[in-house]
Amino acid sequence: MSTSLTWREVTIPDSSPPVAVARLREDADGAFWALVRFPAGWSRPVVGHYVTDEEFWLLEGELTMSGVTYAEQQGDRIPAGRPRMESRSERGALALARFAGPPTWVRS
């Protein structure tokens, strides 16, 4: 069986430029896995949070969030409601991410 990824351009709330997202699996409760490609220069300088848990693992590049820089083969679990600030990827990154439900962003 052969399957291919369907990539689509998505603007993450309060960020620019758009990222490329390929959803891998979505559950009935709205939880999903996705590959997210952050282009060089991507940033979200504002403070906010998601209303659901997120986990991610970097496959390529670097991603900085709330003062922590994640490199290849690093990741984190971010509980719902935890503030995020000054997110950016200066050189670009590819992440595997899982949201436990719809990724609703709330600006602080």
Model pLDDT, residue 89 = 98
Contact 84, 78 (CB under 8 A): yes
The single-letter DSSP state of residue 39 is: P
Kindly report, residue by residue over 20-79, the tens digit of the pLDDT: 999 998 898 889 999 999 999 999 999 999 999 999 999 999 999 999 999 999 999 999
So where are the chain's domains? 8-107
Of the pLDDT bands very low, low, confident and very high (cuts 50, 70, 90), residue 2 is: low
Contact 34, 100 (CB under 8 A): no
Model pLDDT, residue 78 = 98
Kindly report, residue by residue over 23-34, the tens digit of the pLDDT: 998 898 889 999
Of the pLDDT bands very low, low, confident and very high (cuts 50, 70, 90), residue 4 is: confident
Of the pLDDT bands very low, low, confident and very high (cuts 50, 70, 90), residue 1 is: low
Domain 8-107: state its class: mainly beta
Which pair of tokens denotes residue 69? 């820089």
Single-letter code of the amino acid located at 67? G
